[in-house]
Amino acid sequence: MKAGSNEHTPRHVAIIMDGNGRWATTRGFPRIEGHRRGGEAVREALAGCEENGVTHLTLYAFSAENWNRPSGEIDGLMRLLVSYLRREVKDLVKRGVRLHVAGEWERLPAAPRRELQRALEATAGCHERHLALALNYGSRQEAAAAARAYAEAVLRGDEDPADCTWERFRRYLFTADLPDPDLIIRTSGESRLSNFLLLQSAYAELFFSPVLWPDFTRDHFREAVEAFRKRERRFGLTSEQVRRPAAAAS
Non-local (6+) Cβ contacts of 128 within 8 A are 55, 95, 96, 97
- Known active-site residue 18: yes
Alpha helices in 172-238 (DSSP H): 218-229
Instruction: Indicate which residue of 18, 52, 180, 182 is catalytic.
Output: 18
Phi, psi of 112 (to 5 degrees): -65, -30
Backbone angles phi, psi at 248, to 5 degrees: -65, -35
Q: Is 66 a catalytic residue?
A: yes
User: Which amino acid does the sequence have at 99?
Assistant: L
- Residue 201 CA, distance from chain mean position: 11
C-alpha angle 100-106-112 in degrees, rounded to nearest 5 = 75
Q: Which of 217, 216, 207 is nearest to 184 (CA)?
A: 207
> What is the rounded CA–CA span in Å between residue 155 and residue 170?
18
Non-local (6+) Cβ contacts of 76 within 8 A are: 32, 35
Cα(20)–Cα(161) distance, integer angstroms? 44
Among candidate residues 6, 66, 195, 215, the one labeled active-site is 66
Which stretches of the chain are DSSP H helices?
A: 20-26, 31-52, 71-94, 110-122, 139-156, 166-169, 218-229, 239-249
Which positions are catalytic? 18, 66
